[in-house]
């Protein structure tokens, strides 16, 4: 770890010389200026925020208050031992079912939420976003694993639930591909080449009622609810021998410490995840040379607003536009305690995947790992790369060679229909190749 990274991590655990602020009522929260030298924060402030930007006390309080709120509707069902995913789908799609859950007020509210699209949802705008999001399948999984996921591993409040449940550590490939399958499901749209759908019928609009994105949103919401309840009861024990008890800040009885961490998978952390899958991937595409228009960017955020709403995020808490998203993310990152050693097991499991698949002595596997680490270091920052113990390549900026290539392809696509059609055929074939694991293990892709 570099000297700079060591200092960044140690600052977060040292007593502050100033008195604690009201927003620091959770142990996970640091002072807003503790990480001002973090590369990702410096880049956001320099390039993506107004020159006169200052952290809003109102937003700060809203973010911190969200730590203590989970998913009230789904949590109420879990408290009554009701698993809602399958019955909810059956009820909405017209299957004949019965059970006490049908009269539960929270179940009825969920059924109403998932039966129709909310009034604010614009399917045309969402499709514009989905088309842009799906345009570069290799870049999409690059950015998912090396930016969206890796960036989150430096934040222990996001890493600890994954470590305690074993997610993305003991079964790194299945967990990664299930996450990849979800972002594919959310961005499935009517214009996709039918060869990538196998035997499935085309959907009539993005995130249609009954679509795979709709189904997976319900399933993921139930999984999050069960994980939240189990962690609160102290049933997540996969971190034993990986992370010390002191670093997990357990309650004396071994249960999850809400005073320190807030509720697991809370409203604020779910919004952070929402921005990892939407804003950060969109920004990564732009940095790698993709032309993402203002309307396409708006569409990507709109698409994920519905997915996040269906997953239990309070719509009023979601930032309203791209500028507000960067303000929210900057504020969130500014106050998160950093502990790289907690994220290192997750980072290592994800980093080591290529050689696990291709063989320890496989040169291609080592090259892919180096490229992946270079994407993280280039787009997220060397301080986080050092903290997560990722290798550093002398040719790391080679990943930026994609910039003129993607820029030229997008220019040609916009001016020549034949080229656009050929690029779409190539994209469909590439996407089908990227789905190799899903085609073996996921019923939707078989």
Residue in 432, 440, 445, 380 with CA at minimum distance from that of residue 153: 380
Q: Where are the beta strands (DSSP E) in 109-211?
A: none
What is d(CA 378, CA 371) in angstroms, rounded to the nearest whole number?
10
- Does residue 359 surpass a pLDDT of 60? yes
Q: Mean of the pLDDT values across residues 182-194?
A: 89
Of 280-284, 397-401, 430-434, the range with the highest mean pLDDT is 280-284
Helix 172-186 vs helix 340-351: crossing angle, to nearest 10: 90
Contacts for 120 with CB less than 8 Å, ≥ 6 apart: 315
SS3 of residue 29 by DSSP? strand
pLDDT 10s digits, 241-258: 778 888 889 888 888 999
Instruction: Give long-range contacts, CB 8 A cutoff, 24+ apart: 257-260.
Output: 257/27, 258/68, 258/232, 259/26, 259/27, 260/26, 260/27, 260/28
What is d(CA 126, CA 104) in angstroms, rounded to the nearest whole number?
32
Helix 72-79 vs helix 105-115: crossing angle, to nearest 10: 140
| Distances in whole angstroms, Cα of residue 306 to Cα of each of 119, 274, 312, 338 | 11, 10, 10, 30
Q: What is the pLDDT of residue 170?
A: 65
pLDDT 10s digits, 86-111: 999 999 998 766 666 678 999 999 99
What is d(CA 250, CA 110) in angstroms, rounded to the nearest whole number?
33
Burial of 248 (0-12, 13-18, 19+ CB in 10 A): buried
| pTM beyond cutoff 0.85 | yes
Q: What is the pLDDT of residue 17?
A: 41
Nearest 5°: CA angle at 167, between 11 and 275?
Answer: 60
Residue in 281, 166, 299, 307 with CA at minimum distance from that of residue 231: 166
Q: Is the dihedral of CA 367, 370, 372, 374 positive or negative?
A: negative
Q: What is the pLDDT of residue 315?
A: 95
Asked if residue 56 lies in contact with residue 328, where contact means CB atoms within 8 angstroms, the answer is: no
What is d(CA 408, CA 426) in angstroms, rounded to the nearest whole number?
16
Residue in 237, 191, 220 with CA at minimum distance from that of residue 84: 220
Burial of 417 (0-12, 13-18, 19+ CB in 10 A): exposed
Q: Is the dihedral of CA 304, 309, 312, 316 positive or negative?
A: positive
Q: What is the pLDDT of residue 271?
A: 98
Helix 322-334 vs helix 39-47: crossing angle, to nearest 10: 150
What's the Rg (C-alpha) of the chain? 22
What is d(CA 251, CA 44) in angstroms, rounded to the nearest whole number?
36
Q: How many CA atoms lie within 13 A of 263 on its CB side?
A: 21
The residues that bridge with 29 in the sheet, in sequence order, are 336
Count of Cβ atoms closer than 10 Å to residue 104 Cβ:
18
Contacts for 23 with CB less than 8 Å, ≥ 6 apart: 29, 60, 61, 64, 335
Lookup: tokens for 244: 């010390």
- Does residue 217 surpass a pLDDT of 50? yes
What is d(CA 438, CA 112) in angstroms, rounded to the nearest whole number?
31
What is d(CA 37, CA 25) in angstroms, rounded to the nearest whole number?
23
pLDDT 10s digits, 307-337: 999 999 999 999 999 999 999 999 999 999 9
pLDDT 10s digits, 8-55: 443 344 444 445 788 999 999 999 999 999 999 999 999 999 999 999
Q: Mean of the pLDDT values across residues 104-124?
A: 96
What is d(CA 96, CA 45) in angstroms, rounded to the nearest whole number?
54
Contacts for 434 with CB less than 8 Å, ≥ 6 apart: 137, 138, 141
Going by pLDDT thresholds of 50, 70 and 90, the confidence category of residue 199 is low
pLDDT 10s digits, 49-66: 999 999 999 999 999 999
- Does residue 195 surpass a pLDDT of 60? no
What is d(CA 51, CA 343) in angstroms, rounded to the nearest whole number?
33
- Does residue 341 surpass a pLDDT of 60? yes
Q: How long is the chain?
A: 446
Q: What is the pLDDT of residue 11?
A: 37
Name the helix (H) or strand (E) containing 230.
helix 212-232
pLDDT 10s digits, 126-156: 999 999 999 999 899 999 999 999 999 999 9
């Amino acid at each position: 770890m570099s000297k700079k990274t060591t200092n960044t991590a140690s600052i977060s655990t040292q007593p502050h010389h100033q008195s604690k602020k009201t927003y620091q009522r959770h142990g996970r929260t640091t002072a807003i200026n503790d990480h001002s030298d973090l590369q990702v924060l410096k880049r956001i402030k320099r390039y993506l925020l107004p020159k006169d930007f200052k952290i809003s006390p109102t937003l700060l309080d809203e973010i911190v208050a969200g730590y203590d709120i989970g998913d009230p509707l789904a949590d109420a069902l879990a408290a009554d031992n009701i698993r809602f995913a399958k019955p909810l789908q059956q009820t909405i799609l017209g299957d004949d079912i019965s059970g006490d859950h049908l009269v539960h007020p929270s179940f009825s509210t969920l059924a109403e939420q998932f039966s129709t699209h909310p009034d604010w949802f614009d399917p045309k705008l969402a499709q514009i976003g989905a088309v842009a999001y799906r345009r570069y399948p290799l870049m999409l999984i690059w950015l998912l694993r090396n930016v969206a996921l890796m960036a989150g591993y430096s934040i222990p409040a996001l890493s600890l639930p994954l470590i305690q449940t074993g997610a993305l550590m003991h079964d790194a490939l299945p967990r990664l591909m299930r996450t990849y399958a979800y972002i594919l499901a959310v961005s499935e749209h009517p214009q996709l080449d039918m060869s990538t759908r196998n035997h499935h019928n085309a959907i009539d609009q993005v995130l249609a009622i009954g679509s795979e994105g709709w189904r997976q949103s319900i399933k993921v919401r139930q999984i999050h609810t069960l994980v939240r309840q189990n962690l609160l009861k102290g049933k997540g024990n996969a971190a034993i021998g990986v992370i010390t008890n002191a670093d997990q800040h357990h309650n004396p009885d071994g249960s999850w410490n809400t005073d320190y961490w807030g509720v697991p998978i809370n409203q604020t952390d779910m919004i952070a995840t929402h921005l990892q899958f939407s804003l950060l991937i969109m920004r990564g595409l732009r940095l790698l040379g993709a032309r993402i228009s203002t309307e396409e960017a708006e569409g990507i955020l709109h698409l994920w607003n519905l997915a996040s709403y269906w997953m239990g995020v309070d719509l009023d808490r979601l930032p309203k536009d791209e500028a507000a998203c960067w303000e929210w993310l900057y504020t969130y990152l500014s106050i998160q305690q950093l502990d790289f050693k907690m994220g290192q097991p997750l980072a290592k499991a994800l980093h080591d995947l290529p050689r696990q698949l291709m063989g320890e002595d496989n040169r291609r596997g080592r090259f892919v790992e180096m490229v992946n680490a270079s994407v993280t270091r280039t787009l997220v920052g060397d301080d986080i790369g050092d903290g997560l113990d990722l290798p550093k390549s002398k040719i790391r900026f080679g990943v930026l060679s994609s910039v003129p290539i993607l820029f030229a392809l997008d220019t040609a696509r916009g001016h020549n229909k034949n080229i656009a059609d050929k690029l779409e055929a190539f994209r469909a074939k590439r996407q089908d190749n990227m789905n190799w694991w899903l085609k073996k293990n996921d019923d939707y892709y078989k």
